[in-house]
Structure 1
Amino acid sequence: MEEELKQKSGDLIKVVMFGPESTGKTTLAQALAKHYHTQWVPEFMRSYLQEKWDNEKKVCEPKDMLPIAKGQVALENKISNSAQNILFCDTNLLELKVYSEAYYNGFCEPIIEKYALQHKYDLYFLTYIDVPWEKDDLRDKPNDREAMFSKFESALKTNNLNYVLLTGDFKTRMQTAINHVEKLIKKNDDTHRSR
């Protein structure tokens, strides 16, 4: 089982969209991938839970977390094969850990936590809650946005992860993101040249 949670290694720059529901992560991941002519990794949890809702009218349960984690890692590993230099991820296992602890009284499957902290990413874009909350079948925390945002930011700070806060409208967020991605690309190029 642990093999299914291992992140594929490689030379790709990996950037994660990270933050609470309805903060523009998917839109940004798609737009950045298009801008850089590369791939983005969708949020496996969304398709998994939408199917569960459509078929059973049930929401996420603790038993769903491990299949979701495996699905997310498999998707990232598969899509990384066709990415060009950089991969944009519309979530990762650390986000799953945050959600698990928020919904299940601080509990996260130890194996998910282990790999959430082992996986390596070059940068996290923490998406702020200054965009309108949009209702759908899965979103359920319109009144807890500040508390959820705090949990996401705390996870990044606690684990000393490199992150940039994205605020403002889409154009502003995109420009901020591009500025930081360009720095990553330059740093990566400099590192390869000095080898």
Structure 2
Amino acid sequence: MNSNGSNIIKIAVVGPESTGKSTMSAYLAKYYHTVWVPEYAREYCEKLTAPCTFQDEINMFYGQLELEKQYLPRANKLLICDTTFITIKIWSDQMFGHAPQGVLNELPNHTYDLYLLLDIDMPWQDDPLRDFPDMREHFMQVWHKELQELNANYVVISGLGDDRYQKAVAAIDTYLRKKANN
């Protein structure tokens, strides 16, 4: 059971920029006949008229939590989350040298049952909201570090096209089988 006390299994689709998190989340939600929580930061940042501030990071943290809360009752056994607020910590550390204290306090309390860490083996896709095409390896290492520090249950998903999707499904199915056998 995840940290919110429900019987809904929370699957987090995470990773560096341009690894297909949104596309993967939509695919998994359709495959498992459930809903997926979009990345709050994307919609938030699209509306910004100036560079992102530390306060914006805090706003995105609370927005992501609220969005998950709104989608949870609509989930069908699984809730697929297109990223998590760990992203706020990673971006804040990179851009401002530290993360909001509220994010740091909440990280160990707001866990997911399984994290799918999408690999950087797919081609970079330009997007006005993406900033670091030359730092993908760095951010992949950061994601590993952050997930390990949380003692998170995670699987790296690599490959292209259908192969990538099938590896994600296999990872979730393996998790579900293990959970059913416990």
Q: Which of the residues 37, 45, 49 maps onto 2:33? A: 37
More displaced stretch, 90-99 vs 12-21: 90-99
Shift of 1:8: 4.1
Task: Indicate the residue corresponding to 2:5 in structure 1.
Answer: 9
Task: Indicate the residue corresponding to 1:120 in structure 2.
Answer: 111
Secondary structure of 2:74's aligned partner: coil
* Residue type of the alignment partner of 1:100: S
Secondary structure of 1:148's aligned partner: helix
2:23 maps to 1:27: yes
* Residue type of the alignment partner of 1:32: L
2:180 maps to 1:180: no
Task: Indicate the residue corresponding to 2:44 in structure 1.
Answer: 48
* Residue type of the alignment partner of 1:71: G
Task: Indicate the residue corresponding to 2:126 in structure 1.
Answer: 135
For residues 176 and 69 of structure 2, the distance between their equivalents in structure 1, rounded to whole angstroms, comes to 21
Task: Indicate the residue corresponding to 1:4 in structure 2.
Answer: none
Q: Could you tell me the percent identity over the aligned residues?
A: 34
Could you list the structure 1 runs, at least 4 aligned residues long, displaced by more than 6 angstroms after superposition. none
Unaligned runs of 5+ in 2: none
Alignment of 1:89-168 (within 5 A): 89-105=81-97, 107-168=98-159
What are the superposed Cα offsets for residues 161-183 of structure 1, whole Å, 9 maximum, x if unpaired?
11100111021121111112112
More displaced stretch, 58-67 vs 11-20: 58-67
Shift of 1:137: 1.5
Task: Indicate the residue corresponding to 1:3 in structure 2.
Answer: none
Q: TM-score normalized by structure 1? A: 0.87
Secondary structure of 1:14's aligned partner: strand
Superposition RMSD on alpha carbons, in Å? 1.3
* Residue type of the alignment partner of 1:86: L
Contact 1:92 1:116 (8 Å CA) reproduced: no
For residues 18 and 182 of structure 1, the distance between their equivalents in structure 2, rounded to whole angstroms, comes to 18
2:69 maps to 1:73: no
For residues 59 and 152 of structure 1, the distance between their equivalents in structure 2, rounded to whole angstroms, comes to 24
More displaced stretch, 17-26 vs 172-181: 172-181
Q: TM-score normalized by structure 2? A: 0.93
For residues 59 and 169 of structure 1, the distance between their equivalents in structure 2, rounded to whole angstroms, comes to 33
Contact 2:4 2:110 (8 Å CA) reproduced: no
For residues 71 and 117 of structure 2, the distance between their equivalents in structure 1, rounded to whole angstroms, comes to 22
Secondary structure of 2:7's aligned partner: coil
Shift of 1:30: 0.4
Contact 2:9 2:79 (8 Å CA) reproduced: yes
